[in-house]
Amino acid sequence: MTILSVTDASRMAGVSRQTMYDKIKSGELDRTPDGIELQELIRVYPNLKPLANLKLKAVKKSSPKQASPAVASPAIGVEPDIALSDEAIQEATQSSGTVELLIRELEWNKELLEKTNQQMAKQLADQRAMIADQARRLDEKDRFWARQIEIAQSLLPAPEPQRRRKIFGLF
């Protein structure tokens, strides 16, 4: 089983440590002497946040002071190989808790990436719409000023034709 400190659990849950202690005091959240089990935290706070610097504690179900039944009484007929396989199963269970946490963190990262992509796509669409609007406004301004120039030119008097000077009276 994977154990978290109250501080790490409160960070993952996105609440203060005092809120975490209040949940423990009210009985909504169970706490072992070693800390808070990850499964218990997920039960109370299903939408946990991933933490980069998370320090997990792996705790065996039996304390080191207790001897395993296979070692304590080999005369009963329990072989030490079975006890070792139980330890292997326990280690696999602990590592599966870590694997579950890693899978959950990957899922969170995937969701975060999808949300970020959606936000970026929305921002890109907004920027494209803004650019298109600005281009339309510039075209309108160009047409307006072209029309103003046409009006101003129409108000000007027509140029007078230039008279040719006759050179030596011939031309």
- CB of 106 within 8 A of CB of 50? no
C-alpha dihedral over 132, 136, 142, 143, to 10 degrees? 150
What is the band of 64 on the pLDDT scale with cuts at 50, 70, 90? very low
pLDDT at residue number 84: 38
Spatial separation of the C-alpha atoms in residues 110 and 136, rounded to whole Å: 39
Structural domain boundaries in the chain: 2-60+86-153
What is the band of 61 on the pLDDT scale with cuts at 50, 70, 90? very low
Strand-pairing partners, residue 58, are 2
Residue 5 has pLDDT above 90, yes or no: no
Residue 145 has pLDDT above 70, yes or no: yes
Helix (H) or strand (E) holding 108: helix 80-155
Spatial separation of the C-alpha atoms in residues 29 and 39, rounded to whole Å: 11
Please tell me the number of Cα atoms within 13 Å of 16 on its side-chain side. 3
The residue that leads in pLDDT, 81 or 135, is: 135
Q: How does pLDDT run across 72-124, given as a tens digit for each residue?
A: 433 333 333 334 345 554 555 566 677 778 888 888 888 889 999 999 999 99
